[in-house]
Amino acid sequence: MIGYFKERSSLQVPALLLLAILLKVGYFSAPAQTPAFVADGGLLSQWLNAHSAALNNGFIRVVGIIALMASVIYAGFVTGNRRMFNQRHVLVPTAMLLFSSLFPVSNLALPALLVLPMLIGVFASLTRLYQSEHPRTNIMNAGLLAGMAYLLYHPFVWWLPGCFIVLAFMRPFRLAEWVLLLAAMLTPAYFVLAIEFLTDNWHPQQHLPSIGKAVLANNISWYWWLAVGMATLWFLVSFAAWQQQTRRMVIQGRKNWYSLLMMGLLAMPGLFFPHQHMAGMLALLAFPAGCLMANSFASEGKGIGQLLFFWLLIIVVAIVGWGWKSGVM
């Protein structure tokens, strides 16, 4: 089955939608849970908290899945255009869906799911600098997207340092462009604060991130450890395959990969600081994780090992989905 997503076909997107439905059965069949939008999570969380009584939980779930599907398709388009793989396929969307299904709690993080396309857009704008004739336009676009994403969802602050790292990879030793990126990031905050000041609603502290301290749950179910173990195994297999893939890759593709992995690595502390936003950070990490983990299926040919590993992932997702449905994960 995984071989079908490696070949170009007009039916790949419908097949991807069907796979998404099958993977999310456990999520949708679980008892309705009230999403927890942390008050200091950003403008999206504040708005959702204020209107939570008027929003149906089922509606929130559907909106989240639609945002996820739009993100995975967009991610597949971006990675294909950036020469990050030797051939075009839909393995990145497939891997992102599998990763998000390993951690069903990430599907409840609606603010993060709505910001996920903006994260992909930031990466797309910055990596376009490699051969861009208008670099300042792309830098402005990336900075504005990153600044808006932070205002909407404060844990996005962990992705901001990675933006400067990517700019350094693509355009080294250009301090003026670093200043331009920083100015673009601050522009959305400037307008929001100006509107609040003019409307006599001046509360700048609500736009500051709350880092807090890491707090680990005492009673972690074995379903959760199964998901973490499977994700770790998948990462190791994919990293080994990625190293082989990059040996035959053009310089542009390698730079894009290094940029994406550095962004994901620098954002990892966001899983624990602040601890209330782990679900949201898992949703955002689905992009770099899905891109990397797609390498486990990207080698040429239809080996039996890839097929067995794919079905192992499906089985683990089904078990985790059962645990989520039972309310013990």
Max intra-chain CA distance, the chain: 65
pTM recorded for the entire structure: 0.91
Q: What is the mean pLDDT of residues 97-115?
A: 90
pLDDT of residue 302: 61
Q: Residue 308: is it exposed, middle or buried by C-beta count within 10 angstroms (0-12/13-18/19+)? A: exposed
Q: Residue 79: is it exposed, middle or buried by C-beta count within 10 angstroms (0-12/13-18/19+)? A: buried
Q: What are phi and psi of 158, to 5 degrees?
A: -70, -15
Confidence of residue 56 (pLDDT cuts 50, 70, 90): confident
Confidence of residue 8 (pLDDT cuts 50, 70, 90): low
pLDDT of 12-39, one tens digit each? 777 778 888 788 766 666 555 555 566 5
**Does some domain include residue 12?**
yes
**Does some domain include residue 214?**
no
**Does some domain include residue 212?**
no
**Does some domain include residue 215?**
no
Give how many domains the chain has, as a whole number: 1
In angstroms, rounded to a whole number, what is the distance separating the alpha carbons of residues 284 and 262? 14
**Does some domain include residue 62?**
yes
Confidence of residue 204 (pLDDT cuts 50, 70, 90): confident
**Does some domain include residue 211?**
no
pLDDT of residue 28: 63
What is the chain's mean pLDDT, rounded? 85
pLDDT of 109-157, one tens digit each? 889 999 999 999 999 999 999 888 889 999 999 999 999 999 999 999 9
**Does some domain include residue 209?**
no
Domain residue limits at 159: 2-196+221-326
Pick from 52-66, 84-98, 247-261, 276-290: least confident: 52-66
In angstroms, rounded to a whole number, what is the distance separating the alpha carbons of residues 3 and 61? 30
**Is residue 259 over pLDDT 70?**
yes
Using a pLDDT cut of 70, give the percent of the chain over it: 87
**Does some domain include residue 162?**
yes
Q: Which of 84-88, 215-219, 243-247, 311-315 has the highest mean pLDDT?
A: 311-315
